[in-house]
Amino acid sequence: MIYNTQTLRDRLMVELQARCGLRIGESLKIKVSDVSDRKLVLKEPKSGKESEMAFMPEQIAKRLHDYIQHESLSPEDRIFPICYSTARALIRRLGAKLNVVLTPHDLRRYSATYASRNGVPLEIVSKVILRHQDLKTTQAYLGRVAESEAIRWMDVLHGR
């Protein structure tokens, strides 16, 4: 889906949700001044805190920095100057291209599931990627584990 985006702006917005676990509202509020190397300062997050820190993989951070330079954005500019309904419609259209009904929050769930299925400890998924206060909230995102996956992990842990 990420590769079906039409613009670098759209790709970055989708990647920050699907790879970094950002909520759509958080990504739409990011200003250039909130970006520091591979970190994002999220102002007024859902947790009620003044701010939270989110982290980016190296390749996304590089694309984001290049995008900021290419667009000549100033420190107080929003990186994604679009409204929530426009962002939501973009994600629905991208999902429809793949015959999938998709919402922005599904990308956040994907981020958690992908990390978990690749061996990232639940505490990291919860506290770092999703920034949840309670592990139970994260566990609800991850859902049920298939038997085949349980067997695969037993083999990983204890060898074949």
Host domain of residue 80 = 2-158
Question: pLDDT tens for residues 99-127?
Answer: 999 999 999 999 998 998 898 999 999 99
Burial letters for 135-158: b for 16+ Cβ neighbours within 10 Å, e otherwise?
eeebeebbeeeeeeeeeeeeeeee
Residues of the chain predicted below pLDDT 50: none
The Cα 57–Cα 78 span in angstroms is 21
CATH assignment at residue 39: 1.10.443.10
Looking at the structure of the chain, the number of domains it has is: 1
Structure tokens at 146: 């298939």
- pTM recorded for the entire structure: 0.82
pLDDT at position 3 is 75
Handedness of CA 30, 32, 38, 41 (dihedral sign): negative
pLDDT at position 16 is 96
HSE at residue 51, side-chain half, CA atoms within 13 A, is 11
Give every CB contact of residue 103 below 8 A, 6+ residues apart in sequence. Answer: 88, 91, 92
